[in-house]
Chain A
Amino acid sequence: MDYFEVFGLPRQLGIDTLALEKTFHELSRKYHPDYFTTASPSEKTQAVRMTALLNDAYRTLRHPVRRVEYLLSLYGFKPDSSKVPQALLMEVFEINERLEEVKGGTASVEEADSLRALIKEKRKRFDAELQQASLEWDELVKSGQPEAKLNEQLARLTEILSESSYIRNLERDLGG
């Protein structure tokens, strides 16, 4: 059973997280090992396994990025940070140099603020791109498009996630 099936959902990326939580609580009440203390050992094991699957599914699906990663893995796609456009690498390299100066204390306060704003802007653009591509995926699935079309969109989502790791690293370096 895949994570979408656990929640009785189609393989779509637009998920109502409030409804997801409600189903999560309902299924927890059904499967949780707390309610199987007096059951047979095999039933107990089953309850633990089923609840673990439910929890894994909930943790993955409620998070917009993990959700996409999981969907891609179901189709054999895997984000790879080494396969990104040369232009992005150059840009990140440049930002990193400026970041070094900020962390080293040689940059002005204005420079630090502008860098922070730049990284924030990049994050916003990434989030918007991912959301747009996710919506497109759902449309393709709903309208029953052929496999080639779907694969094209999966490749697009993979590309966005591959690039996202750079933004995450920049955010981490800035925060740390």
Chain B
Amino acid sequence: MPKIVGIDLGTTNSLVAIVEDGTPRVLPGRDGSMLVPSVIYFDEGGTTFVGNPAKEKMVERPRNTVFSIKRFMGKGTEDVREDLPLLPFEVAPESEHIIRLNIFGRDYTPPELSAFILRELKRNAETALGEEIKNAVITVPAYFNDAQRQATKDAGRIAGLDVLRIVNEPTAASLAYGLDKRKQGTIAVYDFGGGTFDISILKLKDGIFEVLSTSGDTHLGGDDIDEILMRLVLNDLSQRPDIHQLQAIRKAVNKAKEELSAADRADITVQELQYRRSLTREEFNKLIDPIIERTLRPCRQALQDAVLNPANIDEVVMVGGSTRIPLVRLRVQELFGRVPHTELNPDEVVALGAAVQADILAGSRRDMLLLDVTPLSLGIETMGGVMSKIIPRNSTIPASATEMFTTFIDGQTNVKIHVLQGERELVKDCRSLAQFDLKDIPPMPAGLPRIEVKFLIDADGILSVSAQEQRTNKHQSIEVKPTYGLTDEQVEQMILESFEYAEADISARLVIEARNEAETVLNATAKGIADEQYANLSEEEKAEIAAASARLREVMRTNDHEVIRQSIERLSNATLHLAELIMNAAISKALKDKRVREIQ
């Protein structure tokens, strides 16, 4: 079985991990860091940079440095209208059902952008493990709906990964948590990250991790806290900042937020605006209390759905960077009446758990099994715009439901089915998932066809539908139109386009390598010119070295690695004689020293 990695594709940071000899570990990136910031920078030449190098560009190049893309997965513009004014991105006009960001005249969907991050993680894993990686388990917030899960799977496909399983983040964390402790009992996982919030309640028994209930908010996280602080700064300013300044403010408030987890007071300093203000922990707590309250409501809901009281919870596990905030810990402690576990690294535990799930799929562990649930009820539209639930939320997945459909008009050959997710009574208050067209129904009098439609939610929490006409036993063809997602054809097209990036990525690496070599050669040349042997060169030779150096300095800023290579070659040739002279001098000096020693 080829290796399967576990990937935590986070709003703020992403990680890749693997289990070796029964122990999960995070695989470091090329720069040695475990966390890859989920940031993508596009330069003018069409090269992309992911992670720390991209994060450095957020203030300088706001338009073409994409961050927090996870918040856009499976969404249309209407869903993120409130966030857009504080974001420096250019949203393309046709973003009603899938947000498209325009970067240098080209539109990118969130799955394509996420694929850049996944490709980077794939490469990091390949470098660390010394083999090609094709299979992965990717985590998503437990409260992600069908479209958001599908978008994550699409991102994996575009990045060249076979996504063997989509796992819920809090559940993955519980796997890492319960791994070597052989835990039994009921645990609550409170997962408050950069962009999303989840609560999951699980029962651990004899290696079975059974999720009893889950709830959350896929648009609630550290980013929202940053936005509150940004608005605080904006209120102080006399005029609206430009997007560079906006990003500088984001960076400054983020820093202050992190400092306030340890200190009682922090400064928000924005050099670009000559701005500085102080913020006490007390003021901060007051500002963020409504946000924390929004995480407690789903907690109560999850308890109620699991038919449990806080007293029934044996342990509370904290996951996600935002659980470092002292007030978050305090509120969780108050709700559950016990001190939550904070000894796990909240940034790494989800990736480690994903690696454990990958290990289970690889067949290495039969002692552990994860039984997860679907976070939202699945339903179909019935007469009068009412949502009729067919699979209730918190059903263990895979789950299925069978419904009978018929025709209303004589000879009708098509039936439309509208599938939704949500808890509300009316269709308009639920999330539209897809429209299914049952086609080629044998023409019969109205009401006579009996079409059995089977809805199946698989272990990834993703829906599939199949249909059969009962009288003719004919399998019905179904055409699926996802409401907030890409069609299969669109994903295929993106996979094709992604090969261009694979090439662009290779060429980017060649450019970087050529630049590094150019620098080495230029440094060596500078040393050579400083050497006394330089005086022994002819004037033509000196002029050629000067010209070749100047040329190399000029072309090494371009993205054409071949031209850089040619210039390196030219400078190397020009300095050949100088190098020879220096070498000879060194040898004769060494010989002389030797003779001196021999005589002595």
Contact residues of A with B, CB < 8 Å?
25, 28-29, 32-35, 37-38, 48-49, 51-53, 55-56, 58-59
Contacts and interface: CB of A to CB of B under 8 A. Distances in A.
B399 A48 contact: no
Given A48-B459, A58-B396, 17 more contacts: A25-B205, A25-B206, A28-B371, A29-B369, A32-B371, A33-B398, A34-B165, A34-B370, A35-B363, A35-B366, A48-B398, A51-B398, A52-B398, A52-B399, A53-B400, A55-B398, A56-B395
A56 B205 contact: no
Contact of A55 (B361, B362, B369, B397): B397
A32 B210 CA distance: 13
B351 to A, nearest CB: 19
B360 interface: yes
Interface of B: 1, 164-165, 205-206, 208, 210, 360-363, 366, 369-371, 395-401, 456-459
Given A25-B208, A29-B366, A59 B395 contact: yes
A52 B361 CA distance: 18
A34 B459 contact: yes
Nearest to B457: A52
8 contacts: A25-B208, A28-B371, A29-B369, A52-B400, A53-B400, A55-B395, A55-B398, A56-B395
Contacts, number: 59
B516 to A, nearest CB: 41
A55 B211 CA distance: 13
A173 B566 CA distance: 80
A55 B374 CA distance: 12
Contacts of A25: 205-206, 208, 210
Most chain A Cβ neighbours within 10 Å, of B206, B366, B400: B400
A55 B458 CA distance: 11
Contacts of A56: 395, 399-401
A125 B361 CA distance: 49
A32 B361 contact: no
B400 A38 contact: no
Contacts of A33: 398, 458-459
A52 B79 CA distance: 32
A49 B464 CA distance: 12
Contacts of A37: 164, 361-363
A28 B369 contact: yes
A152 to B, nearest CB: 28
A37 B371 CA distance: 16
